[in-house]
Amino acid sequence: MTAATAKIIDGKELAASIRANIATEIASLNASHGSFAPHLVVVQVGAREDSSVYVRQKQRAAKEAGMKFTHKDLPADVSQSELLSIVQELNYDYTVHGVIVQLPLPDHLDEKTVTEAVDVRKDVDGFGSGNIGQLAKRDHEPLFEPCTPKGIIALLKHARTEISGKNAVVVGRSNIVGMPVSHLLQAEDATVTVCHSKTKNLAELVSTADILIAAAGKPELIKGDWLKPGCVVIDVGTNAVEDSSKKSGIRWVGDVEFATASQVAGAITPVPGGVGPMTVAMLLWNTLDSAKRFLKGWRRDVEYLKLKLVEPVPSDIDIAMAQTPKPVTVVAEEIGLFPSELESYGQYKAKVGLSVLERLKHRKDGKYVVVTGITPTPLGEGKSTTCIGLVQALGAHLKRTAFACVRQPSQGPTFGIKGGAAGGGYAQVIPMDEFNLHLTGDIHAVTAANNLLAAAIDARMFHEFTTENDETLFNRLVPTKKGVQKFSPVQIKRLQKLGIQTAVPSELTLEQKRAFGRLDIDPTTITWQRVMDTNDRMLRRITVGQGPMEREKGGFPERQTGFDIAVASEVMAVLALTTGLENMRERLGRMVVASSRSGEPVTADDIGIGGALTVLMRDAIKPNLMQTLEGTPVFVHAGPFANIAHGNSSIIADRIALKLAGTDPVPTTPSPSSANQNQPQPGYVVTEAGFGADIGMEKFFDIKCRTSGLVPSCAVLVATVKALKMHGGGPEVVAGKVISDIYSKEDVEMVRRGCGNLRRHVENAGKFGVPVVVAVNRFSTDTDAELQVVLNEAKAAGAVEAVVCNHWAQGGAGAVDLANAVVDACEGEREVKFRYLYELEKGIVEKIETIAREMYGANGVELSEEAMKKVELYTRQGFASLPICMAKTHLSLSHDPKRKGVPTDFVLPIRDIRASVGAGFLYPLVGEMQTMPGLPTRPCFVDVDLDTETGRVVGLF
């Protein structure tokens, strides 16, 4: 036989090279992305030997490349619903990047339904209609090209075959090879003829081919004398024919008669060793591409919402209702969230799962910005509005990824004096009525958990009081069920705290049983109160235990207690400061509610309720996703009381936003496809700290950042001419009363005098090593001369920039200068040398003194006798190393709300110190602080109503 003249296109060699490159890139991704590896899952139903062989080939190739491979081996009689459920789970699993259902399936399963169930983003075989359909369209690209056709094109290019303008003949029209390869060839500008079993002049058509793709599944169908001399032949066929000379009794041949074709063709693939190895290589390639897309997150282009500005500016609710929000699922796709990470609550808000943190752990965080303010008037100076306006400017106008992270408002102020906290004017969170009313029920969850613990405290004291026998009490706490007496997991925590080594109830001594069962709470030390999310002054002090059952059964004593507003609950503070579900469980369990008569702290876990509290809070831990008026994303999560607690939104929301706004690390060995791409710009996460900088900002730095480990890039300090006039000697501003006309007339000197307060706050921020940008919210009555004084004084005080903002009237467009200043502060050459105000190892009193002197300008502190007792108690109980959360008025740098400007020559009085051990801080009470606000003479609820025809809320601010 004459030797072959055609060039042999070696698929094994090319496939080996491709697989080696894939392995190198995976190793690079693994090194730069925290042990990340692409994950391929093959679902096999039944035990067909040929299917098992194919699965093993894929498994071996994946593992050699460094991929994770999972083989889901299902019984042949699995039901279709069970199979579809498994496919759906794989679709939702963000750690899975490729899903293949191995074909053929048993007859009782609908192959089309099952394969179509695979998410198009994980269809690495490329056979789903979503990918095949895109392949068939001009100027469209599928996410995945089918593996064998993709390998064919790679082989042609490897052989340096010119495709454009050539005649290509495809013999076979299967969905696996013939049809998709014809589309790929057309995409390469070939003129394509598809032949099949009904084609009558097959040999004649084959003879016109410059490129022949043989995929008919018929052994040696095409003869050498059919071929055009010099053509390129890709033989896809793999056919077994009898051959007694072979040990197996068969040999493998293609659809082309190789012996004769190789004498005519210019290049030809062998069988085996041609197309076959390329199919597996392309599968690995597709899986790697999928994994890289999942690393980046599936993001659709952001569509910002346009504002229709109206003058004069309408009410907040009218502005909000005039804008149509994007569906929250669209917002989620724009920021790169997966469907499995989203739990929708209606059309416009959703909860986000914490799994996103694990998925994006490899990312470098975006830029972190905190918005704070000067000492405000009771009316507020627009920190929330500035926070939202800044994010609208960064996103809709500078086209940077930008998130706002804000607190959830309590219904107390919403229906009381202040109103909601959605921002204002054309810088709001929408839908603002849903934002301010219930949201997704997080505050209700806090209320339920708080009050369950309150009930448990009184119930435990009641049962201890009315059960004199220690053995009886123990057996009631650890009952025998079905003949077995055992401790619950939370009770084992109690044993460990007591140092009891055994967990077998019968092995405890009577003394140990008494220690376990009797918490012996001292009623005078109980700090835990009930809560509700309503301003109700009449519940500030109540008496409990007046029911006849409690009085008559052993004379259980009454006791004085009270209600706090829900956001003042330590449960809310825990929610804001927790870093994860396990951490929240630990924090809730260690909350100290009282002391025993012997002076030992009594915790929620001592009562046995920590696990139940966590169950009530398991959904509340997930941040709520909403949007601004211009369609930029907002996380709304937690709302700790800004006086008693730290007054900042949650660490979890900030962390998720920082990852979503972050950038991927640069691979140690960039792939050719990414070598020339510019690295994306970092995004921005803007969070608000409650009240003035002396409270909110200091707590943000010393408590929140200390807990989270996050380092801010910049602080934005909000000021207004109105507030500075008040600090410069203007008349008192009282909520609900008409403001003096002095505030609407130009008085440059009054503004200049008031800038002392601004200077103090700028200097305070500098003590933490963070650059400060001053944002002056413009009001219509402000004059250019007054505003210029503020800008000059801010720069003189050390602010890196100071700008005038008008986002209330103009939306993001009115905060573009502020956005540019923030970008310059965060991305300039200035190095942030962040530091805390005090070290935790310092004593309680020393830390309080540091805050009083450095932040407020006090000469010192004066502790009451009660406060000193608490210092001694908390030191003895081991809480002295906790950070300090000062509970003082926000209306003055001092403890006296009437002292404006920069008070001097004062001593800060500390009347008491309380412990939020679960949240992780001690809070000294400065002056008179109410934890249950009261309603004013004319509350905001007077204006709120419902349009019963449209179902819209009216009068909400």
Our answer to whether residue 58 is catalytic in this structure is yes
Q: How many helices (H) and strands (E) does the chain have?
A: 35, 36
Helix (H, G, I), strand (E, B) or coil at 824: helix
- Among residues 805, 789, 809, the alpha carbon closest in space to that of 797 is found at 789
Q: How far is CA 582 from CA 311, 316, 618, 621, 705, in A?
A: 51, 40, 10, 11, 19
Sequence-distant (6+) residues with CB within 8 A of 679 are: 663, 666
What CA–CA distance (Å, rounded) separates 328 from 341?
Answer: 12
What CA–CA distance (Å, rounded) separates 295 from 289?
Answer: 10
Sequence-distant (6+) residues with CB within 8 A of 733 are: 377, 378, 379, 722, 726, 739, 740, 743
State how beta strands 427-430 and 624-628 pair. antiparallel
Helix (H, G, I), strand (E, B) or coil at 441: coil
Q: Hey, which residues does 449 pair with through a beta bridge?
A: none
Sequence-distant (6+) residues with CB within 8 A of 587 are: 574, 577, 578, 918, 919, 920
Q: Which segments of 320-363 are extended strands (E)?
A: 342-344, 350-352
Q: How far is CA 606 from CA 164, 518, 570, 611, in A?
A: 77, 10, 17, 11
781-784 contact pairs (CB < 8 A, 24+):
781/721, 781/743, 781/744, 781/745, 782/721, 783/746
Residue written as tokens 């009770």?
491
Is residue 755 within 8 Å of 724, Cβ to Cβ? yes
Helix (H, G, I), strand (E, B) or coil at 539: helix
Q: Hey, which residues does 373 pair with through a beta bridge?
A: 718
Helix (H, G, I), strand (E, B) or coil at 648: strand
Count CA atoms within 13 Å of residue 627 on its CB side: 27
What CA–CA distance (Å, rounded) separates 515 from 864?
Answer: 34
Helix (H, G, I), strand (E, B) or coil at 250: strand
- Among residues 152, 177, 149, 156, the alpha carbon closest in space to that of 231 is found at 156
100-104 contact pairs (CB < 8 A, 24+):
100/40, 100/41, 100/42, 100/43, 100/58, 100/124, 100/125, 100/283, 101/43, 101/45, 102/42, 102/43, 102/44, 102/45, 102/51, 102/54, 102/55, 103/51, 104/48, 104/51
Straight-line distance from the first to the last Cα atom of the chain, in angstroms, rounded to the nearest whole number? 94
Q: Which of 58, 349, 367, 383 is catalytic?
A: 58
What CA–CA distance (Å, rounded) separates 674 from 28?
Answer: 13
What CA–CA distance (Å, rounded) separates 218 from 204?
Answer: 18
Count CA atoms within 13 Å of residue 405 on its CB side: 27
Sequence-distant (6+) residues with CB within 8 A of 887 are: 643, 644, 923, 924, 925, 926, 929
User: What are the catalytic residues?
Assistant: 58
